[in-house]
Structures are given as C-alpha cells and as structure tokens.
Amino acid sequence: MSDTFAVIGGDAAGMSAASKAKRENPDHDVIVFEKGEWVSYAACGMPYYIKGEVDELDDLVAVTPEEFREKRDVDLRRDAEVVDIDRETQTVTVETNEETYEQPYDDLLVATGASAIEPPFDGLGLEGVFTIHDMDEADAIEDYVTEHDPGTAAIVGGGYVGIEMAEALSARGVDVHLYEMLPHVLQPFGEAVAEIVEDHLREQGVDLHLETAVSGFGGDKRIDGVELEDETVSADVAIVGVGVTPNADLAESAGIELGSTGAIATDEYGRTNDERIYAAGDCAEATNVVTGEPDHVPLALTANRAGRAIGQTVTGAPTATGGTAGTAIVKAFELGAARTGIVNEDQARQAGFDPVSITISASTRAHYYPDGAELTVTLMADHESGRLLGGTVVGREGAKRIDTVAMALTAGMTVTELQNADLAYAPPFSPVWDPILTAAKVLNGKLG
C-alpha cells in the first residue's frame, strides 16, 4: 500500500506541498482538505482586482481545482474542514456539508494559514465594513463599491493592506481616509521609508490620520461613520487591515507546540514536535536568517517554498524549508517600498547586536540619463562585526534592489563585502555605484 500525505489547507503552502509530493512520487496518495471553495489563489492580488486592474477574481487563481485533480492527480477535497487531528491513530476528522469522516495519514501538513485580526470595534458587523482576508471578501468589497459608489472610505491600519486598499479605492474615485494608531505607516519599514510614503499618500489625496485610534463604526444597518476618540468622521465604506494572526488552534488542540510568536514551531524541515506532522505557510514559524531565531513572517514566498520543500521531504528527499529574511515590498501609488532583515534599533539590540545605520538618497540611473528616480536607501549593520543586519529602499523605480540587500543577509555578509559586490552598471540602469553600494560605502564610513 502506498503512503498517504494529507494536507490541511489548499492555498500557497498546501498546494505547493501537494503538487511537489505528487510530482516526486506519483504513487504517493496526496489528499488536500480545503474548508472553503478557493484554492491556490493570490491573496496579494486582491487589491488590484478591487482597483480594476485585474478583470476577474478567477485571474488570481494560479492553478485551478480541475488542474490539480486532472493534471496533477491531487485528491483535492473542497468544502472539507479538518476539525480534529488524532496523532495517536494518525487520523484526521473531516467535516463536509454532508458527512463527517476519518482519514488516516502517514504524513500530515498543517497549512491552515492566518486570519485577519478583528479588533474589538463597535459596528464591525455593519454592512460596508470589511476585512480583506479571503477571495469572498474581496468579491464582496468589489460588489459593494460598485453598488453603493461610496464617497468616503475609512481604512484602518497603515500596513500593506491599508496602503494597497488606499490606492485601489482612490482609483475607484473614493475619498480615502487612512487611520493608523502608530506615529507612522508601514511600521516594519522604519521611519525613513514611512515619511516618504506618507508624503506621497498625501500628494495622492489620501487623508492621513496618524496616531489616531479608531474605536468603531457607526451606522444603522449600514456604516455611516468611523468613531475616533473625540469625533465621528463620515464614512461610506470601511476596510480593517490591522494585521493577521496564525490559524494555529487546530494544531494546538492536537498537542502540537506553538512558538513564542504564536505560530506553529517547526524545525529546518518544517517538522513540528510530532515527526509525522509538518507545518508551513502563514500558520507556521520560519527561521530568521539574521537572528537565527524562529520568526513569524506570513508572506507568500516563504509559504510556497516551505510547502514545496515538505513535498520533497515526505517523498523521501529531506529538503530544508529555507529561512526568511522578512523581505517584503509594497506598491504605494507611484512608489515602491521594500524592506529586509532588521531595520529597527530596538529589535537589533534585542537580538544582541549594536546597530549603526545610515540613510542616503541616490538616482536609480546615471545622473545625465533621462527619467531616473531618487531611491532612498537605509542600511543597518552591527558595529563590532560590521555584519549587515537589514535595509530598506523606497522610490519611484528600483524598489526590487532590496533583493541585493536580501542576498547579502542570506550570505551573512559584512558591509565591506556588500560594498565590494560587482553589481551591474550602464547609464540607463544605474549610476556607476548602484544606490545600494553607495549606501554600503557611507555605512562603512560610519562604522569606521
């Protein structure tokens, strides 16, 4: 009899694992349980659907259920929720609309994802108040905007989702108010990026309310306002994007250990404390390549890569899931902003480093070549060792240059090693010293 690999969750990590396992060993039985309808979809694309740049929600689906079943021979079961894991008998309990049944497994992957945090706001249930945690919600927002043509939107939270939705709703002709409790948007990107993004958001007509706590929403059946400490501001639609929390309850109930981040703890192969049970994606921890410590970075590449590695491991070729540098990039209207590693001094100190950082601005092209843009680069390093800890970039072009910094972190490079990297130069593409190299030079000067 062939082995059974059961997967809980049909998005990035789960489907990557299932596809890879089946490809590596077609005799392996691979079953995926997905509690909803949608599988293998690009959640990151949802704001662009609402914005109107992506025609159909279906366009965000990377691989259709039919392809998984027919071409990849994966036993995909939708509307099938795993409600219990019995580690003793190696069995999961599955609930569908029609029945409840038990499914034995040899290896199990928990890829249950994360959920949008729902803060304790009044009026969260009003019509026109949305989180944007899945495809059905994206569909509902699009429908609502089309149907009600809202004049004013309240976006709560200045993270990726908030900023992408500000762009999307502005493009739909909605007046956007963005509320952020902290002094700056994009907290994980640091002040240098935040201040540039904030200026740009204002230029683009976004009404930015920093250090402003929202307590809830007003309205009868449908939202008509957002409640602040001292006032109520009118709003015809609201998007709450204040972060996500790992869906770890199912695993925890089965005695699978969580890490200090609240996500499922794993080893370098994505294995939990039960050697037959793996976890990957937004519900799981990954190792931070800078600190060497477990981290929770719920992003798509980490999920896909870990899933794929686990698909290889369960079919006989143990493959490390790879670490995370916390690399992220976001489009804010005309700007690109990106980060990697540690860029916060307190975090650096907590991780045992003595942080030194600099911020520079430089052109993305030769000074005389047309249409260059200013790229602002921040780099942080450890004083004593000179080791690079992290960086950010922001500008109208060139934000993907963060990858150069991410590569330096992956390799554990010092600032001098980064400064000596042989990057590509020609006038249409870069100054002789790429802005990242210029930043490394300046940081090296400060390190002494």
Q: What is the DSSP letter of 260?
A: T
Question: Going edge to edge, which strands form the sheet with 335-341?
Answer: 328-332, 335-341, 388-395, 374-382, 355-363
Distance, CA of 435 to CA of 379 (rounded, Å): 11
Q: How far is CA 392 from CA 338, 383, 423, 437, in A?
A: 5, 18, 18, 13
- CB closer to a second copy out of 27 and 422: 422
Applying CB under 8 A, which part among 31-39, 86-94, 150-158, 392-400 lies near a second copy?
Answer: 392-400
Closest CA to 283 of 339, 240, 244, 328: 244
One of 150, 159, 372, 398 touching a second copy (CB under 8 A): 398
- CB closer to a second copy out of 39 and 338: 338
Assess 162 for contact with a second copy (CB under 8 A): no
Helix (H) or strand (E) holding 253: helix 249-253
One of 90, 131, 272, 302 touching a second copy (CB under 8 A): 302
Task: Kindly state the smallest distance separating residue 314's Cβ from a second copy, in Å.
Answer: 18
- CB closer to a second copy out of 53 and 293: 53
Instruction: Build a one-symbol-per-residue string for 333-372: x at contacts with a second copy by CB under 8 A, - elsewhere.
Output: ---x-x-x-------------------------xxxxx--
Assess 115 for contact with a second copy (CB under 8 A): no
Assess 19 for contact with a second copy (CB under 8 A): no
Q: What is the DSSP letter of 71?
A: I
Identify the active-site residue in 23, 24, 36, 44: 44
Query: Taking the mean position of all CA atoms in its chain, how far away is CA 134?
Result: 13
Q: How many residues sit in the footprint of a second copy (CB under 8 A)?
A: 68
Assess 53 for contact with a second copy (CB under 8 A): yes
Distance, CA of 162 to CA of 209 (rounded, Å): 12
Query: Taking the mean position of all CA atoms in its chain, how far away is CA 231?
Result: 33
Instruction: Build a one-symbol-per-residue string for 306-325: x at contacts with a second copy by CB under 8 A, - elsewhere.
Output: --------------x-xxxx
Neighbouring C-beta atoms of residue 394, cutoff 10 Å = 30
Contact 268, 320 (CB under 8 A): yes
Assess 447 for contact with a second copy (CB under 8 A): no
C-alpha dihedral sign at 409, 331, 42, 190: positive
Assess 379 for contact with a second copy (CB under 8 A): no
One of 255, 292, 318, 428 touching a second copy (CB under 8 A): 428
Distance, CA of 337 to CA of 273 (rounded, Å): 37
Residue given tokens 């990242």 in the structure block? 436
Distance, CA of 320 to CA of 337 (rounded, Å): 29
- CB closer to a second copy out of 84 and 417: 417
For residue 44, indicate whether it is catalytic.
yes
Q: What is the DSSP letter of 173?
A: T
Assess 380 for contact with a second copy (CB under 8 A): no
One of 73, 137, 267, 417 touching a second copy (CB under 8 A): 417
Residue type, 418: L
Assess 427 for contact with a second copy (CB under 8 A): yes
Task: Kindly state the smallest distance separating residue 138's Cβ from a second copy, in Å.
Answer: 13
One of 9, 45, 158, 241 touching a second copy (CB under 8 A): 45
- Buried b / exposed e along 355-384 (16+ C-beta atoms within 10 A): bbbbbbebbbbbeeeeebeebbbbbbbbee
Distance, CA of 286 to CA of 268 (rounded, Å): 8
Assess 413 for contact with a second copy (CB under 8 A): yes
Site for a second copy in 120-159 (CB under 8 A): none
Task: Kindly state the smallest distance separating residue 432's Cβ from a second copy, in Å.
Answer: 5
- CB closer to a second copy out of 235 and 342: 342
Distance, CA of 341 to CA of 292 (rounded, Å): 11
Assess 270 for contact with a second copy (CB under 8 A): no
Catalytic residues: 44
Binding site for a second copy (CB under 8 A): 12, 42, 44-45, 48, 53-54, 59-60, 62, 160, 289, 299-302, 304-305, 320, 322-331, 336, 338, 340, 366-370, 398-404, 406-411, 413, 417, 419-430, 432-434, 437
